[in-house]
A and B are shown apart, each in its own frame.
Chain A
C-alpha cells in the first residue's frame, strides 16, 4: 500500500474513533453548556436587577416597604410563564409596571428571560457582588442617605427648623420611593413639593398620612409613625420651598456604573468609597486621625496589595484595634478599588515619623502583647509588628483569601 492510502486510512481511523467519543461526551457537554448559560443569564440579569428593580424590591430581594420580597421559595418555584408575564406585562393595580418593549418597557424578550432565570437561580446574597464585578455598584441604601450635617443645616433655617429636619429625615426614609426624592412625584404617586400641598390644610395632610387613601397605594402610617413625627412631616411638606431656597436638596440614590477596565474610573470609585468609609478615621488624604496615617511611605512600601485587602476584609491583626472588618459590607470590586486608591498615594507618600500616632507604634513590644497565643505579635511568636515577617508565613487559618 503506498503512503497516500496509509495517510487516508489513518485520517479515516481517527475520524471513526473521534466521532463516537465526541458523541459519547456530547450529553455531558450540553449539560455543562446549559449550566454555563444559566450562570451567564444570572450575571447579566443581576446588572439589570440592580439598575431597575432593586430600588423597590431591595438589592438582596428582601422587599422594601409595601413592595414584595423576591428572595422566597415561592418565587423560585413559581411557574415560568407566571414570572415571565408578570415582568413583561406588569401587574394590574399595583406599582409593577410592564417591562417588555412591546408594552413600553426597556427590555426585549431575551432580557426578560434572563430576569426570570435570575429569579429562579440567583443566590441573593451574591447579587451585590455579581453586579459589582460587572461595574454596577448598587446604592448603599434604597433611599437617599441623609447626613447629620444636612439636618443641622435644615434645623438652622428657622424657629421650626428642628421639626422640619425631623420631617425631611422621615420623608427621605419612608416616602421617596413613591413620591420622588425631591417630591417631584413618580408614576406611583403625586408630587408633593408644590403649591397645592403647601396651601392644603395641615390637619387634612396629617389625616391622609395617618389613615392613607383607600383604593390607592398610599398606606396608613399611624402604626409606623408617631403623632409628633407625622406633624413634623406635615410641617416639612408645607415649608419645603423654604428648604429648597436655602439650596438644600436630597440626593437620589443611584447605582454607580464603573468601567472596570478603566483604571481612572476604578480609582474614582476608590476615592468615593474612601471618603465615605475610611476618611473619618484615617484622614481625608490618609494623613491619619484616630486611625494610622495610611499615606506614609512606611505603611505603603511594607504592605502589599494583598495585605491591604486582607485588613479591609478581615480587620487588622493588631490586638484591640477598633477598625471593623468590612468584608460583609464591601464587594470584592469595591475592596480592590479602595486598595488601588490607597496604593495610588505610594508615589508621593512621605516618610511619616510616627504613622500610628503613638510612639513606637503603641508602646514597647512587651506591652503590646496580649494573653492570646494566636496573636501574631505576641513576644513568643517573635514577630515584631511592622517588620513584615508575619506576611511571609501567614498562619494557615488566616491564609490569603480575598473573597469576603
Chain B
C-alpha cells in the first residue's frame, strides 16, 4: 500500500512511516513505563514470585468492563423483562451466549485471582516498608470486587439470583441499629423486587465501575510510589533488566493465555441460567453465592449478629496487619523464614482440620442454647461462641510463638494463614457438604 500523504518536510511516505512507527512506539512505551519502572530486578521476574496475579486481575477487569458494556445493550432491568431479555440474548443474538458466558466466568475468576493476589502479597510480606496504604487500598478493592459480583448476581433474575440475594441481604438486617434501614435502602423496599433490581443494576454498572477505576488507578500509582515490587533486602548489587522487553513479553504471554483460556472455557461451559425467579418457591437448600458460603456456614453455628461480627473483626484485623507486623527484614521472602514456613504449614493443616472438627461437633453435639436455657440466644449462641472463637485464635497465635519460637511476623503469618485456609475450608463445606435444610451431607 503506497500512502499518498506527504510529511510537512516533503520526504517520501516510506520514511514518514518509519518516523510514525517510532513515534507510536515512544507513546506506547511511555504508557508502559508509566505503569512499570524502566528496569526491574531479575529475581522479581520469576513467575513463581508474583504468579502474575495482580496483572491477571487487571486484565480480567478490562474483559469484564468490555463484555459488560456489550451486555448492557440488550439487558432490561425490569422484573418482567430481565429474564426474557437474557433468553433473547441467548437465542437471538450472535455471540450473545458467549458474551454472557465470558462475563460470568471472568467475574468468578476475578474473585479467585484477587483473593490469591492478596494471599501472595501477605505471604511475601509485601505490605511492609511503607506499603500499608496500598494494603488498605487492596482490601478496599477486594470488597469492591465482592460487591460487583454480588450486585451482578441478581441481574439475570433467575431462581439462583433471587434466592442468593434474598439470603444474603437478610443478613444485613442483623447489623445493630442501622441494619433494617440499610436493608430497606439497598432493596428499595421490604423485599427483593423491582426496586432492588434497579438499585443493583445502577450500582453494578455505574457506581461500582467508577469507584473501581479510581481505586485501581490509585492502587497502581501507589505501587510505583512505594518503590515498585517488593524485594528482599540485599547488600550486593541486584541484577536489573529492562522492562521492555523482559517484563512485557511475560505479560503478553500471560494475557494471551488468559484471554484464550477464558474464551475457550466460556465456549464449552455456558453461564448457567435457572428457572425464572419465583418468590413463592424457595429452593431447598437456599444458598447464597458460592463466595459467601463460608460466611453462611458461620450462620449455622452462631447467632447472626455474632456471625457478622466475627468476619468483621477478622477483616479489621487483616487490614491492620501492616501496623502490627512492622519487621521489614523479611520482606519479599515467601513465608518469612524457615520457621515461618513450618508455622505456615502447620497453620494450613490446622485450618483444614479444625473447622471440619468444629463443624461436625456443633452439628451433632454442641448445643449452647440447650445447655444454658436461662440465657437469651444472643448470649448463649452469639457472644459465647464468638468469645470462644476469639480466645481460640489467641491460643493459636500464642502457641505459634511458644512452640515454634516464632517472632511477631512469623506468628502473625501463622494466625492469618489459619484464618485464610479456614475460610476456604468453610466455603468448601458450604458449597459441597450442605444439602436440603442445610444439613450436612456426603456429596457423592
Contact = CB atoms under 8 A, between A and B. Distances in A.
10 closest Cβ contacts across the A-B interface? A11-B256, A4-B249, A7-B253, A11-B260, A4-B253, A8-B256, A33-B91, A8-B253, A34-B91, A8-B252
A344 to B, nearest CB: 21
Contact of A33 (B90, B255, B260): B90
A37 interface: yes
A15 B90 contact: no
A29 interface: yes
A28 B361 CA distance: 53
Interface string B262-281: 01100100000001100000
A5 B91 contact: no
Nearest to A22: B267
Q: Which of A3, A4, A18, A19 has the most CB of B within 10 A?
A: A4
20 contacts: A4-B250, A5-B249, A7-B256, A8-B253, A8-B255, A12-B256, A15-B256, A18-B264, A22-B267, A23-B95, A26-B95, A30-B91, A33-B91, A33-B97, A34-B91, A37-B91, A44-B275, A108-B80, A110-B84, A113-B84
B83 interface: yes
B267 A18 contact: yes
Contacts of A33: 90-91, 97
Contacts of B250: 4
Interface of A: 2-5, 7-8, 11-12, 14-15, 18-19, 22-23, 26, 29-30, 33-34, 37, 44, 108-110, 113
Interface string B64-98: 00000000000000001001100100111011011
Contacts of A113: 84
Given A8-B257, A11-B256, A37-B87, 9 more contacts: A4-B250, A4-B252, A4-B253, A14-B260, A14-B264, A22-B98, A23-B94, A26-B95, A33-B97
A113 B84 CA distance: 10
A29 B97 CA distance: 10
Contacts of B252: 4-5, 8
A231 to B, nearest CB: 47
Contacts of A19: 263
B249 to A, nearest CB: 4
B350 interface: no
Given A22-B267, A29-B97, A7 B259 contact: no
Contacts of B259: 11, 15
Nearest to A14: B260
Contacts of A22: 95, 98, 267
Contact of B249 (A2, A23, A34, A44): A2
Contact residues of A: prevailing secondary structure: helix
A110 B82 CA distance: 10
A113 B83 CA distance: 13
A393 B431 CA distance: 44
B253 A26 contact: no
A84 to B, nearest CB: 14
A91 to B, nearest CB: 24
Contacts of B260: 11-12, 14-15, 18
Interface in B222-279: 249-250, 252-253, 255-257, 259-260, 263-264, 267, 275-276
A33 B256 CA distance: 30
B249 A110 contact: no
A360 B84 CA distance: 64
A135 to B, nearest CB: 11
A15 B261 CA distance: 9
A110 B83 contact: yes
A108 B275 CA distance: 15
A22 B91 CA distance: 15
Nearest to B82: A110
Contacts of B80: 108-110
Given A108-B80, A109-B80, A110-B276, A15 B87 contact: no
A210 B92 CA distance: 57
Contacts of A34: 91
Contacts of B253: 3-5, 7-8, 11
Nearest to A9: B256
A4 B92 CA distance: 39
Contacts of B256: 7-8, 11-12, 15
A153 B251 CA distance: 88
A113 B91 CA distance: 16
A54 B71 CA distance: 40
B342 to A, nearest CB: 35
Q: Which of B83, B84, B263 has the most CB of A within 10 A?
A: B263
A295 B98 CA distance: 56
A22 B268 CA distance: 10
A148 B405 CA distance: 88
Q: Which of B84, B252, B260 has the most CB of A within 10 A?
A: B260
A19 B275 CA distance: 29
A26 B267 CA distance: 10
A25 to B, nearest CB: 9
B283 to A, nearest CB: 11
A11 B264 CA distance: 11
A125 B260 CA distance: 48
B257 A7 contact: yes
A22 B263 CA distance: 10
Nearest to A32: B91
